[in-house]
Amino acid sequence: MTGDRRENSLPPRRIQSLRTWNNHLSARCEVYRPERLRELEAIVGCPQLRDVICRGLGRSYSDCHLNEAGGVILQERLDRMLSFDFSSGILECEGGVALGDIIDCFLPRGFFPPVTPGTRFVTIGGAIANDVHGKNHHRDGSLGAHILSLSLLTAGGETLQCSPTKNPDLFWATVGGLGLTGVITSARVRLQHVSTGYMKVDIDRAPNLDAALEQFSETDERYQYSMAWIDALAGGGSLGRSVLIRGNHAEIEDLPAAQRRAPLAVRRRRRPSLPFYLPSFALNAASVRAFNQSYYVSHPDRTGSIVPYDSFFYPLDAIGNWYRLYGRRGFVQFQAVFPPEVSRRALIELLQEVSRSRRASFLAVLKVMGPAGKGLLSFPMAGHTLALDMANTGRDLAVFMCRLNELALAHGGRVYLAKDAFLTAEAAASMYPRLQRFRKIKMRIDPQGRFASSMARRIGLVESREA
Amino acid sequence: MSGAVLILGATTGIGRAVARELARTRRSLVVAGRDLEELQTLAADLRVRYGVGAVACRFDARASEGLGAFFRECVEAAGGRLEGVVLCFGYAGSQQRAESDWEETVAIIQTNFLSAVRLLNLAADHLKEAGAGFICGITSVAGDRGRQSNYIYGSAKAALGVYLQGLRDRLSGAGVTVTTIKPGFVDTPMTFGRPGLRGLASPQRVARVIRRAIERGRAVVYVPWFWRWIMLFLRLVPERIFRRLRL
Ligand SMILES: Cc1cc2nc3c(=O)[nH]c(=O)nc-3n(C[C@H](O)[C@H](O)[C@H](O)COP(=O)(O)OP(=O)(O)OC[C@H]3O[C@@H](n4cnc5c(N)ncnc54)[C@H](O)[C@@H]3O)c2cc1C
Ligand SMILES: NC(=O)c1ccc[n+]([C@@H]2O[C@H](COP(=O)([O-])OP(=O)(O)OC[C@H]3O[C@@H](n4cnc5c(N)ncnc54)[C@H](OP(=O)(O)O)[C@@H]3O)[C@@H](O)[C@H]2O)c1
């Protein structure tokens, strides 16, 4: 067993083709899966390995957790919770702890993650490394704002404590840093207090983009959480028609009598999964148009609905493997954010482009973002963000995605590195003005380029390998 | 934390998953193994996640001395009384090395059989005195049929299986249940990186089965269940044909 094998040989590994969650990109990697801290250190320090990158639950759509012909260190078994302080809500846990586990353990005690992406199947380390945002970004900022400190195992084998006051450079390079500064072995995160496991939700339809933007700007401050599902196939006068879904954590008095007795006990739904890939023709412009139409029609305005937290935050988690809807070739996601001055114009052009292309996208989300945080490569900035899913149709999709990226760049927008598969180094550098600073810190902390990923090479965050 | 469950070999893999599964269902725990630092991290995890009592104790199944003192330490840490003992530690070793290296053979037999017997003897006496409790031992499907690829390990596990069977018999009137778990391939450090393995069971799934088997006082449980039938078949294959399979 590992304990006895460890001394004189390579740590156990698996040569494996790893994929992104959306089944679009893949890479052959040397995969490691430490269950002890010392094993992790041995892998990071192993001289036979040319470079490594961490992988959480692999829920990123980009190749940030892949490392072609290099090492990938799975974090999922370094998932121990280390301490919890009830009075402050501060949880210290290892980087491999899943967000869903945090909810399962702490919601019954009245706590909820400060920020959550649209799936509970992410790790804390992975979420920090992409500085993820949730529906509450306009109010609470991204996850990085709620991380009090973290321990970082660096290329030199040292573990450094980082926080906004201690090693702040390294801290803000690590928040959103795509795993390139080292391994986040543990982090302290402040959970928020909630009184119930339910959400009080308002649903408002907007017949077009302007109506949606207006409603956002007029009433968003009433809601901790806000987003809109947007019909990306609607054109003409209905361009950008949306269903705004906004809400707050419900208070006990909001609940119907039946739930009041155990306000924090929300039973998790069982997850059916798609047992196989749908043929790729199943999702086409017509079927998506029909879906979108019925979605829009079946969501009449409603105020104050009480729904369980998981159907509000994680509607997609209700079906395991839903990426199989898109067939074997998978799908891609485009997500960009635009500064408020230009966002209307940019969104219109984008939506026109998408609607014209008739590319199926039944998952399109629009949301207002608050001010940017301090993460050097963090995605969020003040403005509007739009996310669209599109089936992978091969070469022509790549051409189309590059067009969208150019469009984003032309409007001063920024593409989310957790989702991107097409960005060039030049575009990344113009979208992320603090990228040069990031590279400097990276050179200082990891001069040999020990931590590297397929994505980091693709967009020039690290040097490409010598042949 | 009186009435805690002792997990022997809890640091990684199945043992860690069993510790969590039992903590989730509100039992206090003593988690034991060689790697005290990691075990202390696990104990913290159990306390934080499930709000149960959890402490770590160190032992080495390879050491011939000190297991008695270790067991007393665990009982003490449990507040004087254990509710049950789950034996998870094991060492697959290298069959190839064991064939030419006596040390390796001894390591395999000592870990999987001798020390297991020593510790379970102590556990049996402790639980019998209380007149209640459970013992659960993990053997392996490898113990059901000798195969050229792992018969040293397999024979040690088979021996442990017979031991557990006898112990079950002995304790049957004493209010103590004895359960034998026979896992097939499980996705743990023991199998990680071994080529040619597919469809491994997750440690969580195995842990759930183990908890239920303990709660129901089952005698022998295969996990995943289909291994019972695979092994039944393999046992029925005549030697002459089995040899040609080169398993
Ligand atoms: C259905 C769905 C909905 C989503 N919704 C949102 C959303 O609303 N908002 C949003 O922001 N994102 C969203 N995402 C994206 C997702 O939140 C991020 O990609 C997240 O980073 C994934 O976490 P992970 O644990 O799977 O990490 P991975 O995808 O495995 O890795 C992500 C990055 O983290 C690094 N990393 C992982 N663990 C560590 C560690 N311990 N130390 C250092 N680096 C590490 C990796 O190297 C990689 O660069 C969504 C994804 C899906 C599939
Ligand atoms: N994985 C499988 O496919 C499979 C199949 C059939 C049966 N099993 C059996 O299932 C049990 C659990 O194995 P696993 O798969 O979970 O593997 P594992 O992760 O390697 O777990 C074995 C545990 O035993 C402990 N251990 C090993 N040697 C020890 C020693 N000398 N003294 C004290 N503790 C020791 C280790 O902790 P420390 O390093 O801290 O000591 C380790 O946590 C074993 O009995 C194994 O034989 C496994």
Q: Is the CB of B64 under 6 A from ligand 2?
A: no
Residue B6: pLDDT over 80: yes
Task: Say if the Cβ atoms of B16 and A81 lie within 8 Å.
Answer: no
Give the distance (Å) from ligand 2 centre to CA of residue A4. Answer: 11
Q: Indicate the average pLDDT of chain B.
A: 96
Residue A188: pLDDT over 80: yes
Residue A293: pLDDT over 90: no
- Per residue in A197-209, pLDDT (tens digit) is 999 999 999 999 9
Enter the DSSP assignment of B65.
Answer: S
Residue A383: pLDDT over 60: yes
Q: Percent of chain B at pLDDT above 70? A: 99
Residues of A in contact with B44 (CB under 8 A): 80-83
> A451 falls in which pLDDT band (50, 70, 90)?
very high
> A318 falls in which pLDDT band (50, 70, 90)?
confident
**Listed range (A384-398, A418-432, B129-143) with the worst mean pLDDT:** A384-398
For residues A389-416, average pLDDT:
92
Domain boundaries, given as residue ranges, for chain A: 81-194, 198-422
Between A324 and A104, the higher pLDDT residue: A104
Alpha-carbon distance B12 to B32, whole Å? 11
Please report which ligand is nearest the Cα atom of B37: 2
Q: Is the CB of A357 under 6 A from ligand 1?
A: no
Most A CBs within 10 A among B11, B12, B153, hence the mutation to make, goes to B12
Residue B16: pLDDT over 60: yes
For residues B219-232, average pLDDT:
95
> A252 falls in which pLDDT band (50, 70, 90)?
very high
Enter the DSSP assignment of B201.
Answer: B
Between A343 and B199, the higher pLDDT residue: A343
Alpha-carbon distance A98 to A56, whole Å? 9
Residue A17: pLDDT over 80: yes
How many pairs of residues across A and B have Cβ atoms under 8 Å apart? 56
Active centre residues of B (catalytic): 153
Q: Report residue B65 as tokens.
A: 């001395």
Task: Say if the Cβ atoms of A80 and B41 lie within 8 Å.
Answer: yes
For residues A196-222, average pLDDT:
95
> B108 falls in which pLDDT band (50, 70, 90)?
very high
Alpha-carbon distance A342 to A354, whole Å? 18
> A290 falls in which pLDDT band (50, 70, 90)?
confident
Residue A181: pLDDT over 50: yes
Residue B60: pLDDT over 80: yes
Residues of A in contact with B91 (CB under 8 A): 1, 4
**Domain A81-194 maps to which CATH number in 3.30.465.10, 2.40.50.140, 1.10.3720.10, 2.60.40.1930?**
3.30.465.10
- Per residue in A88-99, pLDDT (tens digit) is 999 999 999 999
Residues of B in contact with A33 (CB under 8 A): 189, 192
In A34-93, the residues whose Cβ lies within 8 Å of chain B are 35-38, 77, 80-84, 91, 93
**Sheet with A331-338: strands ordered across:** A302-308, A198-206, A242-249, A225-230, A364-369, A383-391, A331-338, A414-415
Residue B55: pLDDT over 90: yes
Contacts of A194 (CB under 8 A, 6+ apart): A107, A110, A111, A112, A249, A264
> A3 falls in which pLDDT band (50, 70, 90)?
very low
Please state the atom number of ligand 2 nearest to the C-alpha of residue B200. 3
Closest-approach residue (CA) in chain A for B203: A77
A305 phi, psi to nearest 5 deg:
-65, 145
**Listed range (A137-151, A231-245, A295-309, B4-18) with the worst mean pLDDT:** A295-309
Please state the atom number of ligand 1 nearest to the C-alpha of residue A177. 49
For residues B78-107, average pLDDT:
97
Alpha-carbon distance A439 to A460, whole Å? 9
Q: How far apart are the first and last CA of chain A?
A: 35
Residue A284: pLDDT over 80: no
Residue A7: pLDDT over 50: no
Which sign does the torsion angle of CA A100, A104, A106, A110 carry?
Answer: positive
Angle, vertex CA A112, rays to CA A318 and CA A36, nearest 5? 85
CA atoms within 13 A on the CB side of A321: 10
**CB of A250 closer than 8 Å to CB of A198:** yes
Q: Report residue B32 as tokens.
A: 């034991």
Residue A155 touches chain B, beta carbons under 8 Å: no
For residues A171-179, average pLDDT:
98
Contacts of A218 (CB under 8 A, 6+ apart): none
Same fold, A81-194 and A198-422: no
Residue B105, helix vs strand vs coil: helix
* Whether this model's pTM surpasses 0.90: yes
pLDDT given at position A2: 37
> B247 falls in which pLDDT band (50, 70, 90)?
confident
Which sign does the torsion angle of CA A38, A40, A43, A45 carry?
Answer: negative
The range of the structural domain enclosing residue B95 comes to: 4-245
**CB of B157 closer than 8 Å to CB of B108:** no
Q: How many domains does chain B have?
A: 1
Residue B199, helix vs strand vs coil: coil
pLDDT given at position B9: 98
pLDDT given at position A326: 78
CA atoms within 13 A on the CB side of A338: 23
> B1 falls in which pLDDT band (50, 70, 90)?
low
Please report which ligand is nearest the Cα atom of A387: 1
How many angstroms away from the CA of A30 is the closest CA of chain B? 10
Please state the atom number of ligand 1 nearest to the C-alpha of residue A182. 43
pLDDT given at position A71: 97
- Per residue in A265-277, pLDDT (tens digit) is 887 766 666 666 6
> B244 falls in which pLDDT band (50, 70, 90)?
confident
Task: Say if the Cβ atoms of A82 and B41 lie within 8 Å.
Answer: yes
pLDDT given at position A359: 79
Give the C-alpha distances (Å, rounded to integers) separating A87 from A90, A109, A110: 8, 12, 11
For residues A413-418, average pLDDT:
98
Q: What CATH code is carried by the domain that includes residue B52?
A: 3.40.50.720
Angle, vertex CA A157, rays to CA A441 and CA A454, nearest 5? 60
Q: Indicate the average pLDDT of chain A.
A: 92
Q: Is the peptide bond before A308 cis (omega within 30 degrees of 0)?
A: no
Please report which ligand is nearest the Cα atom of A129: 1
Alpha-carbon distance A435 to B157, whole Å? 57
For domain A198-422, say whether CATH 3.30.70.2520 is its number: yes
pLDDT given at position A4: 41
Tell me the one-letter amino acid at A283. L
B93 phi, psi to nearest 5 deg:
60, -165
Residue B213: pLDDT over 70: yes
pLDDT given at position A5: 42
| Nearest CA among A84, A83, A65 for reference residue A74 | A65
Angle, vertex CA B36, rays to CA B31 and CA B39, nearest 5? 40
pLDDT given at position A292: 79
How many angstroms away from the CA of B172 is the closest CA of chain A? 34
Please state, as a whole number, how many other Cβ atoms lie within 10 Å of the Cβ of residue B95.
18
pLDDT given at position B2: 60
